[in-house]
Amino acid sequence: MIRQDSKTLLEVRGLRATVNGIEILKGMDLTVKAGEVHAIMGPNGSGKSTFAKVLAGHPAYVVTGGSVLFEGKDLFALAPEERARAGLFLGFQYPIEIPGVANAQFLRLAYNTVQTQRGKDELDPLEFDDFVREKMKLLEMNPDFLDRSVNEGFSGGEKKRNEILQMALLEPRVAILDETDSGLDIDALRIVAGGVNQLANKDNAIVLVTHYQRLLNYIEPDYVHVTEAGRIVKTGPKSLALELESRGYDWVSAAAGAAA
Amino acid sequence: MMQVANNSYLAGLLEGRPFADRGDALNRLRAGAVERVGVLSLPSTRDEDWRFTDLAPLTKMCFQPYRGVPAIVESDIARYSIAESAQRLVFVDGVYAPQLSSPLNGGIVVSSLAAALPAHAAAIVADLGRRALFDNNAFTALNTAFLNDGALVLLPRNAALDTPVHLLFVATRKEAAAHPRCLVLAGAGSRATVIEEYVALTEDAYLTNAVGEFVLADDAQLTHVRVQRESRQAFHIGHSAVALAHGSRYHGIHAGFGARLSRFNLDVVQNAEGAECEIGGLAIIDGSQLADTHSSIDHARAHGVSRQQHKCIVGGSARAVFNGRIVVRQGAQLTNSAQSSRNLLLSERARVDTKPQLEIFADDVKCAHGATVGQLDADEVFYLKSRGLSESVARSLLTYAFGAEILHAIPVASLRDRLEKMLLAQTERA
């Protein structure tokens, strides 16, 4: 929800980044305030997933210009784990499988790390078990997933639910969900989107990175941004997503080209 | 010159052989082994099979067998007890400790080999020394030369042991040489889990030279957990020989944590159709440890299955060796074999030498193998960090997970938990 007096959580100015020496982000600008839902859309290779990874601090990407303020502080002064503890969350497009680590163990470790950072008490395994089972109901997840290795052998939908479960546990200020809708059937999409909607509130913000408009039928964005060649070239209301769905991306870049 | 030095070292190890001629059913076997020790020489790095493992540190020290009675009590080894296990045999510096053991003498026999020999001589003599061949293996010959006692597990046809047998070998003495021996005879259709574990109550140097023979009759199923947690100064030479008859299944989980220098030879012979083995191996070493595993899986008949996964976690300036030989003989059509060797190097100076060795003489088989050597996956580390975990916690968790995948297969919960905790402690130190 857009409110004029909301606090700015994320302020991206002229962000440039490279991977393997190739510039992918060529001056991204984005302002995200508390309570808002943003959708970043764009064709493949336009830099939207790179943008998500750069914000989270993926080591393969090198920031070459611009600035990002997270709640007023320089994001790039923080290591990836410090960003997570400060309240930045990245929902992975391809969540990593970690054979040998029980999901419950991983979730509790992550939860307790962030709780400690916030000056709150850690939960022991039993307390955590009750707590996480409650959160799993939100995503209609079978408690069996606690005993299995992290993401190992999970279906695409199960992996994405596990990502949103982590978001529910860590209660981030800004959640960037990278292609959370990819590989989901319609039921899984409804459940995952329902979970995200329940987690959205006036104090946090959600940035959805997506290729298709489909997800936005379930999670209503306040703003839709279109990326093209490493920049946001158009910003509009929710209806822009529908327009992209019917007309494709080409007209946006043509219009942007004409404007430039 | 070197040859002479090596031979005299072997002869030295043979000294103090306490049971040269006891007039029992094992006399001939022992005599043959003694003779063989006289002919063989200690392997050197010029031998292909010992290329990466230099025994020079061993030959700089002298080891003598212990002849006395075990001097430890239950409380000394309480921390090694396995709650699920009803039968335990304890050997201290190679000597059977009846006061610490709980044998079984019914249809199923779990007993000191010497004690069971009079009643079961025929069964024992039929297999003992015939699976772990010593013609070309100086250490196995040496072990056999000392063969007097050992651990015996005898399962009659269709017998099922529902609780695991724990064979515990405890080292307590500096410069002692122990030559532990295990014989597991699993009758047709029988089932059991056997834990063979090597531990130390001393931090000094000593030598363990262990041999085990595991003979599975038709359709028998054996789970064999082998745990090597010797002292960090110890030398551990181990040899497990597995013989599989028709439709039998061997599941081995072999984990090595300790020893300054360890060498483990695993020989599996699938001598009849439809035999199956599944083997998980783990070596986790650091400092200046060396862990060498040589395995050989021999598919002699058709429709055999083998699955082998070997993992090494190597830190410090430690060195791991894996040589995995798979033989598929001419008649062994429709063999299905998969082998993987995965290795994690935690430091710049750590080193691993891994070598798959496939010898396939049949034309209708499925054999897959692969070897990887690497550091932790950067994407995995990032994933954990993106959830707030510090770099060091992320790395130790992933290292732990890499090894725990092997330990997860241990079907005895208390032992599995104990080893997983050891693994975790070791990864947190790294």
Nearest residue, CB atoms, A84 vs list B377, B387, B403: B387
Residue B27 shares a structural domain with residue B54 = yes
Distance CA B210, CA B205 (A): 16
Q: Is A125 on the interface with B (CB under 8 A)?
A: no
Cβ-nearest to B401 among A81, A85, A99: A99
One domain, residues B15 and B45: yes
Task: Name the domain count of chain B.
Answer: 3
| E strands, B131-172, in order | 151-155, 165-171
Q: Is A170 within 8 Å of chain B by CB?
A: yes
Give the nearest partner residue to A110 out of B388, B400, B402, using CB atoms. B388
Q: Residue B144 has which token pair? A: 């056999």
User: What residues have CB less than 8 Å from A89, skipping those under 6 apart?
Assistant: A166, A167, A170, A172, A174, A175, A176, B386
* In contact, B219 and B188? CB cutoff 8 Å: yes
Task: Determine which of A49, A58, A81 to mutate to test the interface with B (most B C-beta atoms within 10 Å).
Answer: A81
Task: Give the number of other CB atoms < 10 A from CB of residue A243.
Answer: 16
Distance CA(A152)–CA(A44), nearest Å, equals 27
Residues B292 and B410 in one domain: no
A99 touches chain B (CB under 8 A): yes
Report yes or no on B268 lying in a domain.
no
Interface contact flag, A57 B386, Cβ < 8 Å: yes
| A107 token code pair | 């979730």
Residue B295 and residue B268 in contact, taking contact as beta carbons nearer than 8 Å: yes
Q: Are A211 and A205 in contact (CB under 8 A)?
A: no
Q: Are residues B278 and B346 in the same domain?
A: yes
| B421 Cβ under 8 Å from any chain A Cβ | no
Average pLDDT over residues B88-105: 96
Coil, helix or strand for A96?
coil
Integer CA distances (angstroms), A33 to A36, A71, B239, B393, in order: 6, 9, 67, 33
Which H or E run contains B215? strand B207-216
Q: In this structure, which CATH number among 3.40.50.300, 3.40.50.720, 3.40.366.10, 2.60.40.10 belongs to the domain A8-259?
A: 3.40.50.300
Are both B337 and B393 inside the same structural domain? no
Q: Is the pLDDT of residue B6 over 90?
A: no
Inter-chain touch A110–B387, beta carbons under 8 Å: yes
Interface contact flag, B385 A81, Cβ < 8 Å: yes
Single-letter code of the amino acid located at B348: E
In chain B, how many H helices and how many E strands? 9, 21
Q: Which of the 8 DSSP states describes residue A7?
A: P
Is A118 at the interface with chain B, CB within 8 A?
no
Do B293 and B233 belong together in one domain? no
Same domain, yes or no: B116 and B223: yes
B87 shares a domain with B76: yes
- For residues B27 and B151, state if they share a domain: yes
Interface membership of A57 toward B (CB under 8 Å): yes
Among all residues of chain A, which has the CA nearest to that of B408? A100
Cα four-point dihedral sign B351, B238, B228, B201:
negative
Least trusted range by pLDDT, from B30-44, B173-187, B248-262, B298-312: B30-44
- Structural domain of B333: 273-375
How do B181-186 and B151-155 pair as beta strands? parallel
Give the model's confidence band at B16: pLDDT under 50 very low, under 70 low, under 90 confident, else very high: confident
B385:A80 CB<8 A: yes
Question: Rounded to an integer, what distance in angstroms lies between the CA atom of residue B135 and that of residue B32?
Answer: 10
In this structure, is residue B368 part of a structural domain?
A: yes
Task: Over range B10-25, report the average pLDDT.
Answer: 75
Establish if B262 belongs to a structural domain: no
Determine the pLDDT at residue B4: 47
B2: pLDDT confidence band, cut at 50, 70 and 90?
Answer: very low
pLDDT per residue as tens digits for the range A147-162: 999 999 999 999 999 9
CA dist B52 → B49, B138, B175, B207, B211 (Å): 8, 17, 24, 20, 22
Picking from A96, A149, A174 by the largest number of B CB atoms within 10 A of its own CB, the best residue to mutate is A96
pLDDT at B402 over 60: yes
Residue A71 has pLDDT above 80, yes or no: yes
**Whether residue B425 sits in one domain with residue B309:** no
Residues from chain B contacting residue A99 (CB–CB below 8 Å): 401, 405
Q: Report the distance separating Cα B39 and Cα A222, nearest Å.
A: 86
Q: Pick from A57, A98, A166: which is nearest to B401 by CB?
A: A98
User: Do residues B337 and B348 make contact, with C-beta atoms less than 8 angstroms apart?
Assistant: no
Give the pLDDT confidence of B194-249 residue by residue, as tens digits.
999 999 999 999 999 999 999 999 999 999 999 999 999 999 999 999 999 999 99
pLDDT in tens, B323-354: 999 999 999 999 999 999 999 999 999 999 99
Compare CB distances from A90 to B386, B397, B401 and report the shortest one's residue. B386
**Which has the closest alpha carbon to B387: A83, A64, A244, A153?**
A83
Q: Which residue of A80, A98, A170 is in closest CB contact with B380?
A: A98
CB atoms within 10 A of CB B36: 19
Domain boundary pick from B351, B375, B399: B375
Q: What per-residue confidence (pLDDT) applies to B345?
A: 96
Residue B258, domain member (yes or no): no
pLDDT score at B3 = 47
B399 touches chain A (CB under 8 A): no
**Mean of pLDDT over chain B:** 94
Helix residue ranges per DSSP H, B162-225: none
What residues in A contact B404, CB-CB < 8 Å?
A: 100-101
Q: Does B311 touch chain A (CB under 8 A)?
A: no
Report the pLDDT value the prediction gives residue A258, as an integer from 0 to 100. Answer: 65
Are residues B280 and B187 part of one domain?
no
Least Cα distance to B340 among B300, B370, B306 occurs for B370
pLDDT at B429: 75
Are B234 and B94 contained in the same domain? Answer: yes
**Over the stretch A180-207, which tens digit does the pLDDT of each residue have?**
998 888 999 999 999 999 999 999 999 9
Residue A24, CA distances (Å) to A189, A249, B344 in order:
29, 18, 33
